[in-house]
Amino acid sequence: MNIDISKFKRCKILVVGDLMIDEYLWGSVDRISPEAPVQIVSVEKEEYTLGGSGNVVNNLVALGAKVLAVGVIGTGREGKLLLEKFKKIGVDTRGIIQEQQRPTTRKTRIIAANQHVLRIDRETKKEISNRTFQAIAEFTEKVMPEVDIVLISDYGKGMVTKSMLPGLVALAKKHKKITIADPKGLDFKKYSGVSIITPNRKEAALALGVEVVNEASLYKAGAKILESVKIDKLLITCGKDGMVLFERNKKPYKISAVARQVYDVSGAGDTVLSVLGLAIASGLSFKEGIELANTAAGIVVGKIGTATVSKKEILDALKPAHDGVPGKYKLLTELEDLIHELKKKNKKIVLTNGCFDLLHAGHIMFFSASRQTGDVLIVALDDDDSVKRLKGEGRPVINAKERVRIISALDVVDYVVIFSTGQLDKLIEIIKPDILTKGTNYSSKEVYGRKLVEKFGGRVELIPVSENISSTSIINNIKKGSF
């Protein structure tokens, strides 16, 4: 699929829904409580992210869109934190109303050893006050002409009500704006008039009071929802089975899921809503938007916690060899987010660095042995100027871009990055590797970066290498004609 990412930054999206703060407590478990048969989690890190419709907003901003957020929060610490996070990413918060007696919804997830142990919810499902209702109605009427699309993120926390929705939908129709809703609850008729709703398979089954166990029952359920609810289109998301678009008097359009390892499905529906909405706002068709949303959802479930998807991740997923560079290749500027995700998953990160010019059997054995010391192997390649300084004129024989392509083809290598002389310290500071590997042609004390790696709690591992094989010797033999 050809998409023009540059169009995303020209889109202005109105997001109406239940705003939340997602709190993550990361820790470890090494004993059971003497007070009760429960685990004791020793908290090591706390993290706060935007949840609910806030995650929809966060996804849109990450893809370059301008966003106006509409919702209700409390006046306490969590409400202030939410506003601060929105301000930091440039969100228009004029449509966010603070109610004195209302708590800001907070979901606390406790995660130990990469396992979701417990979730604690602090919330109210009380409908918004009449005063808040009027303020939101006035704001949406004011800004509706300037937005490209309206996204409704309903989490059933009292913001998206039966009394509020008809006015919002009518206003959108008056200004010829498409509305997309991620529904909640058993009564889908609440969303009558919305352009498209995006329930998951379980939500669709519960709303109809039927079991959806196969494709036939899914198609029957989709047809029944279209028949009973006044909507133009219906998108049912089916997890590992992909998505199905239902339109009146048309055959269901099925899209297979992108095969990925699933770590956490929380927020996947938010990603579908945000990417589908942004795709349509940027001029793509519904089917193109759904394919893009399906790709984005496949990326985000591979991350732990409420997460966003970047433009580059989408491009890499749609076209792994985008611009001739493999998806394993990462820029220095992309490493921080990547390492954050890997650390969340408790992955042991192995880093090795070198020229790796004219790849040979010794390199292959070295990479394989390095990968066996951990879970993820990152290969850092000296750029062409650095190789020239280290090895002399005529080197490298193979330029950096081609070396990236060759090394990326190896199954034992997970990621490849290019760095220049003087950037190794910065690279180590970003990655904080558990293990830095070098060949036994070095001593541990000779390994550059050893002290910095150890400072971050890592260690140097020396991998046995064959003294008889080297790129330099092979190149010299070729020059002499002795091969």
* C-beta separation of 226 from 263 below 8 A: no
Q: Which residue has the tokens 């820790």?
A: 27
Q: Could you tell me which residues are beta bridge partners of residue 118?
A: 110
Residue 383 known to be catalytic: no
Q: Where are the alpha helices (DSSP H) in 118-186?
A: 130-143, 165-174
Q: How far apart are CA 88 and CA 84, in angstroms?
A: 6
Token duo for residue 247: 């339109």
Residues 50, 103: Cα–Cα separation, whole Å: 15
- What is the full DSSP assignment across 402-470? HHHHHHHT-TT--EEEEE-TT-HHHHHHHH--SEEEEETTS-GGGSTTHHHHHHTT-EEEEEP--TT--
Instruction: Give all strands of the β-sheet with 19-32 in edge-to-edge order.
Output: 39-52, 19-32, 105-112, 115-122
Catalytic residue among 22, 270, 384, 414: 270
Buried/exposed 335-373: b ≥16 CB within 10 Å, e otherwise: beebbeebbbeebebbbbbbbbbbbbebbeebbebbbeb
Q: Which pairing describes strands 415-419 and 376-382: parallel, antiparallel, or unpaired?
A: parallel
Cβ count within 10 A of residue 458: 22
Angle at 183 between CA 192 and CA 72, to 5 degrees: 100
Would you call 376 helix, strand, or coil by DSSP? Answer: strand
- The Cβ of residue 219 has, within 10 Å, a number of other Cβ atoms equal to 17
Strand-by-strand arrangement of the 243-247 sheet: 92-98, 66-73, 12-17, 149-153, 178-182, 196-197, 233-237, 243-247, 253-255
Distance CA 379, CA 418 (A): 9
Report the catalytic residues: 270
